[in-house]
Structure 1
Amino acid sequence: MTVFSSRAGILRLTMMAAMTLLAACALPRSGPSKNEIYAGAVERGGNANIIYVNDHVNRATNFTPAYGFSAAFRNAGQVGADEIRPGDVLGLSVWENVDDGLLTSLGASSTSLQEIQVDSGGYIFVPYAGRIRAAGNSPEQLRQIITDRLSAQTPDPQVTVTRVAGNGATVSVMGKVMAQGVYPIERPTRTLSAMLAGAGGVSIEPEVAVVTVKRGNTQGKVWLTDLYSSRSNDIALRPGDIILVEEDQRSFTALGALGGQTRVPLGNELISAVEALAMVGGLNTTLADPTGVFILRDEPESVASKVLGKPVYGTQRMAYVLDLTRPNGLFLARDFLIRDGDMIYVTEAPFVQWNKRLQAITGSLDSVDTATSIGD
């Protein structure tokens, strides 16, 4: 009788100790509970707007920042392949109809002037013809100008002008391409797609490739797939353009009671909340609370005002709640679009925490019971 009473007392003391310990210490879990997130709501003195997703919310939030070129990029005409520009290198040949000409040596009928570079002001110097503006003219137009200048000093001169190098009309191609470098704008490579092809194409998957063109103080970007699917995106290039090909960095983060917790690239597709959950293995069937699927994001002022139905100022922290157990819960989740930087968090079911407490208590009691049996 004494042993039994002693053992029962130990069990009671152990249970009290376990309950005290559980009250003082948090049990292991994947993150905050649904009630803890609600405690941070604006209505309760927090700084997050807790919003249940409905059709109005979907209409107000379903947009994705689009890539594309401005009208200034799209409306720019193609550079003339033969137009001479500052920095170009020219080659001149002059034939004279006399035995001892201005430029030709005795007994020769022609002379060649190679590698005449167009200066920063657009001019070249030709002996006996003087300083001539070359930039803005085609080789044929410049040939006529030089011929007219020399005609006053030598009878019937014949002149040819060629572009030896087009250093004045080049673009830089960098990033995820097969061959980075500086390329001249020539007749076959006057558009963005042609220039990328000239650089060997991209070295990453086309579905995640983003092409940025920087022109002076402005820039535009486009998905590579959109570049090839729409002619309006295949813009004409300008001297000095910088073309950068990068892998898209947009992503969302998945945390909580899910099949996987990770950072997931978005790519160039529109992804719904249902698809995002599927991409990480769906809800964990032994842990997840289907009424506690949260999408956390910083919403711009314009969108937040529409969602809340009142004017707000500045970026707002929003916690959108998807209750998948509602009659239309899955439909709402299917129509809710995920954006760059979103965090999807799924809370654990209340039963899970209760079960953890129970296991902690019963596990402690089993340990004590075993120790008591050994002691007996």
Structure 2
Amino acid sequence: MPMSGPEDHVVKSEITRSGPDYALVKLTPTVVDILKEYGPGAIAGSFPDHRPPPGIRFGIGDTVAVSIFEAAAGGLFIPAEAGVRPGNFVALPNQNVDLNGFITVPYAGAVKANGRTPAEIQKDIVKAIGNRAIEPQVVVSLITQNTSLISVLGEVKTPARLTANAAGERVLDLITRAGGLSGPGWESWVTLERGGKRATVPFGALMYQPANNIWVHPGDTIYVYREPQVFLAFGAFTIGGSFGGQAQFSFDMWKISMAQAMAKAGGLIDAQAEPAGVYVYRREPRELAERLGIDCSKYAGPLVPVVYNADFRDPAAFFLASKFEMRDKDVLFAANAATVDTAKFLQFARLVIGTANDTIVTANNAQILKISTRQ
């Protein structure tokens, strides 16, 4: 008989005709708790080093200022007649770190600056001129920062390459410096890339799960884009006021539960749905699948097709459904009850019998009309 999806007993048999193979997992409190640990693309898990970024180091192209102080006039840099000046120091002209990573200081020569902190450079300069200047002290400062930059791109109001803050900043701080989001938060996703590695989370995961709002390091790239999270509903749902069908629904928030998704789809059709046959189709990471007790030896690739089954004949299933979080592009399916096919067949049989009866009645009426005409 015609139907909008597989029968309940076929899904539970885990038999597929066209592939891929899938694993059936019954929704239980243990399963729900395990799934909570595997949120949608947690940045905190992809970048486990949660320490603040290291101090800013100079790079090739940065503009550096060097000031040298002496304890008294008449030394290497301060002439004797300068004793009346306020402060015995000389400020060297600003200079860029050259292509070889050096700056030049009189009487100290070329001093390596690339990849080093101001304190390290100051120490080298003092060491180089210590035997010639009078108790020298050196201050090295960054004038123009051209290398310790962080790129914030995509759906923000002012995309830019921003200078790293010496005090350290987190992901949300950089998005704020770029003007904030240009679209609704529940439609926005944030990707952080560092050293060739990347992780993506919904913007809400940064707001409501502070562990994801990690420190940003110089050289990182933050990319913000908009993609509404959706799920697809098939089967015995009252979609759009009609009995059965299929539709795509937007989350309209950064996360929703299975119970909310079922409500968006109009709920189960009382006269059609099998309460024990409500399913969520999803591909899960192999590591998660193994924790769920699935034998992953027959599945190739990093993702395993998993079908979660909720039995709403059990009153407790509604509590589980309110904790089970839907993911972007999930497929929600409600199977028909076994009696539906019987009802369809009986209706079909009545249609055939009715059609046959209509033919007989029509023929009889034609015969009666013919006899009446002869008389």
TM-score band by shorter chain is 0.5 to 0.7
Residue matched to 1:84: 58
Counterpart residue identity of residue 43, structure 2: G
Count of residue pairs the alignment pairs up: 336
1:269/1:140 Cα in 2 relative to 1: closer, same or farther (>3 Å)?
A: same
1:341/1:128 Cα in 2 relative to 1: closer, same or farther (>3 Å)?
A: same
**Where do 5+ consecutive residues of structure 2 fail to align?**
70-76, 81-88, 240-245, 370-375
CA contact (8 A) 2:25 2:306 kept: no
Equivalent in 274, 277, 280 of residue 265 of structure 2: 280
CA contact (8 A) 1:79 1:190 kept: no
Equivalent in 235, 239, 243 of residue 214 of structure 2: 235
Once the two structures are TM-superposed, the CA of residue 256 in structure 1 deviates from its matched residue by 1.6
Matched, 1:313 2:297: yes
Residue matched to 1:105: none
5 Å-filtered alignment, 1:156-167, equals 162-167=141-146
Deviations 1:271-327 (A, max 9, x none): 13x3221121112356434454333344666666676x7855244655444443456
Q: Please say which of residues 356-365 and 184-193 is displaced more in the overlay.
A: 356-365
1:97/1:228 Cα in 2 relative to 1: closer, same or farther (>3 Å)?
A: same
Equivalent in 337, 341, 344 of residue 350 of structure 1: 341
Once the two structures are TM-superposed, the CA of residue 187 in structure 1 deviates from its matched residue by 3.9
Equivalent in 111, 119, 127 of residue 132 of structure 1: 111
Residue matched to 2:182: 203
Q: Whole-Å Cα distance in 1 between the matches of residues 35 and 45 of structure 2?
A: 23
Equivalent in 242, 257, 265 of residue 271 of structure 1: 257
Residue matched to 1:295: 280
Once the two structures are TM-superposed, the CA of residue 128 in structure 1 deviates from its matched residue by 5.4
Identity within the alignment, %: 23
Counterpart residue identity of residue 177, structure 1: V
Q: Please say which of residues 165-174 and 341-350 is displaced more in the overlay.
A: 341-350
Q: Whole-Å Cα distance in 2 between the matches of residues 360 and 35 of structure 1?
A: 28
Q: Whole-Å Cα distance in 2 between the matches of residues 172 and 110 of structure 1?
A: 36
Q: Whole-Å Cα distance in 2 between the matches of residues 50 and 155 of structure 1?
A: 78
Once the two structures are TM-superposed, the CA of residue 217 in structure 1 deviates from its matched residue by 3.3
TM-score (norm 2): 0.66
Q: Whole-Å Cα distance in 2 between the matches of residues 207 and 268 of structure 1?
A: 4
**Where do 5+ consecutive residues of structure 1 fail to align?**
1-25, 100-108
Q: Whole-Å Cα distance in 2 between the matches of residues 220 and 237 of structure 1?
A: 13
Q: Whole-Å Cα distance in 2 between the matches of residues 191 and 279 of structure 1?
A: 35
5 Å-filtered alignment, 1:180-199, equals 180-187=159-166, 190-199=169-178
Q: Whole-Å Cα distance in 2 between the matches of residues 312 and 158 of structure 1?
A: 65
Give me the CA root mean square deviation: 4.7
Q: Whole-Å Cα distance in 2 between the matches of residues 206 and 279 of structure 1?
A: 20
CA contact (8 A) 1:74 1:236 kept: no
Once the two structures are TM-superposed, the CA of residue 215 in structure 1 deviates from its matched residue by 1.6
Once the two structures are TM-superposed, the CA of residue 198 in structure 1 deviates from its matched residue by 0.9
5 Å-filtered alignment, 1:1-376, equals 27=2, 29-34=3-8, 37=11, 41-42=14-15, 53=26, 55=28, 58=31, 62-63=35-36, 65-66=38-39, 67-70=42-45, 74-80=49-55, 83-91=57-65, 97=78, 113-114=93-94, 116-126=95-105, 129-135=108-114, 142=121, 162-187=141-166, 190-228=169-207, 232-247=211-226, 251-260=230-239, 261-265=246-250, 268-269=254-255, 271-272=257-258, 274-285=259-270, 287-298=272-283, 311=295, 313-315=297-299, 317-326=305-314, 330=318, 333-334=321-322, 337-348=325-336, 349-350=340-341, 353-354=344-345, 356-358=347-349, 360-361=351-352, 364=355, 368=359
Match of 1:244, SS state, is strand
Q: Whole-Å Cα distance in 1 between the matches of residues 361 and 100 of structure 2?
A: 96
Counterpart residue identity of residue 255, structure 2: E
Residue matched to 2:73: none
Deviations 1:58-82 (A, max 9, x none): 468744523132496544333435x
TM-score (norm 1): 0.66
Counterpart residue identity of residue 84, structure 1: F
1:227/1:288 Cα in 2 relative to 1: closer, same or farther (>3 Å)?
A: closer
Q: Whole-Å Cα distance in 1 between the matches of residues 265 and 221 of structure 2?
A: 37
Deviations 1:132-166 (A, max 9, x none): 12245555775676577678889999987553310
